[in-house]
Amino acid sequence: MKIEVQQLSLNDCKEKYDMLQTIRNNENGFYNPVFEMSYKEYLLWLQREDDYSKGNHLPESWIPQTTFFLFIDDEPIGIGRIRHKSSKYLESIGVGNLGYAISELHRGKGYGNILFRELLKKCISFGYDQIKLFPYKNNIPTVNIMLKNGGQITDSFDDEKYIVVIPTT
């Protein structure tokens, strides 16, 4: 099995767009504005996301974030985002340092764990000494992936989410 994680690029193809159509917006807390977006709108979204990764044209109170795609055997399987640093504001509303989603067509095959591990490596490269996450309590597969990768449930957030912390050092 060939595993590859690609950073979002302005040259991203229709294949990634099609994969994003299989991940509903705000499904299990993952923000996917591309769901049900036209291909023309997707191309504009790519430009915005590329700008955000460079800290350009960020909405107020946003911090830079980078988007990555997981490929298995040259097929896009999932998407993840990493914020370049922690944000007390985002944490105060239950938003963590990274988020990810796997295409509905490829769930239950271990790809979520693969993508999560790869995103953890990227977080370390951004200089995180710990990663704070806010998974929904009813999203058992994601909670299990976080715990399997060194996470510890430290508290609850708004009765719907756990607070999971993963030390990176």
Q: Where are the domains of the chain?
A: 3-128
Identify the band that residue 169 occupies on the pLDDT scale cut at 50, 70 and 90. Answer: confident
Tokens of 29: 């807390």
Summarize pLDDT for 94-148 with one digit per residue, the tens.
999 999 999 999 999 999 999 999 999 999 999 999 999 999 999 999 999 999 9
- Cα dihedral 110, 111, 115, 121 in deg (nearest 10): 40
The pair of structure tokens assigned to 89 is 């504001």
pTM given for the model:
0.93
Burial, 59: exposed, middle or buried (Cβ in 10 Å; 0-12, 13-18, 19+)? Answer: exposed
Q: Give kind and range of the element (H or E) at residue 88.
A: helix 88-92
User: Alpha-carbon distance 38 to 165, whole Å?
Assistant: 37
Side-chain-facing half-sphere of 101: CA atoms under 13 Å: 22
67-95 pLDDT tens trace:
999 999 999 999 999 999 988 888 999 99
DSSP, collapsed to helix, strand or coil, labels residue 93 as coil
pLDDT band at 66 (very low <50, low <70, confident <90, very high): very high
DSSP class of 125: H
Domain 3-128 fold: Aminopeptidase (3.40.630)
Residues 32/79, Cβ–Cβ less than 8 Å: yes
